[in-house]
Amino acid sequence: MPEYDNTNRGSVWVNDKKLSDKHPDLNGSLDVDGVEYWVSAWKRKEGANPKAPVLSFSIKRKDEAKKAAPRADSPVDIPNPGDPDAFFEDIPF
């Protein structure tokens, strides 16, 4: 039997791990031209404008590496401006 082609298809499921209103109501995956994405979706809230979207969603590439920003509490090696030789330690001559 041939393998099913999921190219340009996706699906979302009820998020059973939702702990707050900021977490998505639904999550799943999506394939666009062979590139895999994560999908997060939020339902329209009760009492919202009837012309508001039924779902709002975001997508993120699955293979995208998370770029961690430098932490504020991580040590940074800054030369002492009072030491005139501190700025020239890495120069080989």
- What is d(CA 71, CA 41) in angstroms, rounded to the nearest whole number? 29
Spatial distance between the Cα atoms of 66 and 10, rounded to a whole number of angstroms = 22
Which tens digits make up the pLDDT trace of 37-88? 999 999 999 999 999 999 999 999 998 755 545 555 555 555 555 666 555 5
Q: Enter the pTM of the model.
A: 0.61
57 touches 42 (CB < 8 A): yes
Domain coordinates of the chain in residue numbers? 1-63
pLDDT at residue 2 greater than cutoff 90:
no
